[in-house]
Amino acid sequence: MKVLVTLGNRMNDDGTLSNAMLDRLNKTLEVENDYDKVIVTGGIANPKAGVAEGDKMCEWLVEHGVNPDKILVENRSLTTKENAKYTAQILAEIGVNEITLLSSAYHIDRWYLNPSKLFKKYAKVTIAGTIKA
- Please tell me the predicted confidence (pLDDT) of residue 75: 98
| Whole-number Å distance between alpha carbons of 73 and 34 | 19
User: How would you class 114 by CB atoms within 10 Å of its CB: exposed for 0-12, middle for 13-18, buried for 19 or more?
Assistant: middle
CATH code of the region 3-132: 3.40.50.620
Q: Is 9 exposed, middle or buried (0-12, 13-18, 19+ CB in 10 A)?
A: buried
Q: What is the pLDDT of residue 26?
A: 97
- pLDDT value at residue 107: 80
Q: What are the domain boundaries of the chain?
A: 3-132
Per-residue pLDDT of the chain (133 residues; tens, 9 = 90+): 999 999 999 999 999 999 999 999 999 999 999 999 999 999 999 999 999 999 999 999 999 999 999 999 999 999 999 999 999 999 999 999 889 999 988 887 776 677 888 878 777 788 888 888 8
Q: Are 118 and 96 in contact (CB under 8 A)?
A: no
